[in-house]
A and B are shown apart, each in its own frame.
Chain A
Amino acid sequence: MSNRLLSWGLLAGFAVLIGIVAGLVVLRPASVQIQSGTLLQQARPIADFSLNGSDGKPFTKADLAGHWSVIYVGYTHCPDVCPTTLAQLKAVEKGLGEDAGKIRFIFLSIDPERDTPEALGQYTHYFSPDFLAVTGPNAQLDVLGANLGFVYAKVPGATPQSYLMDHSSALILINPRAGLAGYLTPPFKTDALVSDLKQLVEKSW
């Protein structure tokens, strides 16, 4: 019957349409937009490196895989912006709720001369016991800096021990494949950081 043929035809048409829509949804290009910074169009691979964690263990590229990471570059002799940023990251961690478990916050000290891993850990864990604290020899920090796009420089102070460190201010985003995904740039707003990070962890990269 022609009616029956028409029904089958309509059904087939629907199936094709559903297929096309489904294909569009699945194959849709990444469209995560963040408010607090910039995502690279394509994540950039990172060369191997070896730093020291505050737990006494080496901290390497393998420690960046399997979860999102937010790296904050600073040093503990910075009394103004560094503790403020760490306190803000603590607020972000709280705001993320359950999603916080999917992100590692890492305080990376570029002042290994004064920040021993142990002291760095005590300083960092004051803000959150879940934050990681890492540092390492300058040669390794330089390799990582070239890969992640951060820079730092030692500036003489009033005394040899009170030297200062200039350093990049952006938070560095690392995806679960241990690739450089982008940057979050100041001034930081807690709510915006929370919503950006939620978006990123909810998207499977």
Chain B
Amino acid sequence: MSVPLSALALLLAGAAAAPAFADCKGLKVDNAWIPEAPPVASVLAGFASLVNDGDQPLHIDAVDGADFGSVELHQMSMEGGMMQMRPLQGLDLPAHGNVALAEGGKHLMLMNPKHPFKAGDASVVLFHCGKQATAARFTVKAAQP
């Protein structure tokens, strides 16, 4: 399933074609951005605010993007002076709820970018919820310390 959807993402990014799949009902992806990283970076972070405007809870079970080898969801935490990251098995958004993908917390791991990104670039990432998927445009911005 993810292969044709990735191809669609490419189409979407290139030609701004209308997606041929249904959106995740109620899902809105706001303030989606990627902190600019060194050109050699093999992983980029993705941050956004995910909002479920719908009356039903949503479960995001996968994320991918045509510009990346794979995309994972991770949770960062600081435990006893240790910086830890753990993969997440999807994300749950309650009805009319939201989840922040933000620095120091949950974030996207955009693995193996197919080309370097610099501030001002953009990339389309797909959030899958079962058979539906919502496309979101992430813009690359300079990281602010």
Q: Among A81, A119, A158, A190, which residue has its beta carbon within 8 angstroms of that of B76?
A: A81
Chain A residues with CB under 8 A of B110: 79
Interface size class of B (residues with CB under 8 A): 20 to 34
Interface residue B130 (Cβ < 8 Å from any Cβ of A): no
Among candidates B39, B40, B107, B145, residue contacting A80 with C-beta atoms closer than 8 Å: B107
With a cutoff of 8 Å between Cβ atoms, the chain A residues found around residue B99 in the complex are none
Name the interface residues of B53-94: CB closer than 8 Å to any CB of A.
70, 72, 74, 76, 78, 81-87
Beyond A83-B35, A90-B145, is A122–B40 a contact (Cβ under 8 Å)? yes
Interface residues on A, range: 35 or more
Closest A residue to B85 by CB, please name it. Answer: A164
Is B42 positioned at the interface, with any CB of A under 8 Å from its CB? Answer: yes
> Known: A91-B145, A166-B82, A185-B81. Is A81-B104 also a contact (CB below 8 A)?
yes
State in angstroms the CA–CA spacing of A84 and B78 once bound together: 15
Q: Provided the pairs A84-B103, A126-B38 are in contact, do residues A151 and B145 lie with their beta carbons within 8 angstroms?
A: no
B111 to chain A, nearest CB (A): 6
Residues from chain B with a CB closer than 8 A to the CB of A50 are none
A-B contact pairs, 5 of them (CB 8 A): A76-B40, A80-B107, A122-B39, A164-B87, A169-B78
Report which B residues bind A (CB closer than 8 A).
Answer: 35, 37-45, 70, 72, 74, 76, 78, 81-87, 103-104, 107, 109-111, 143-145
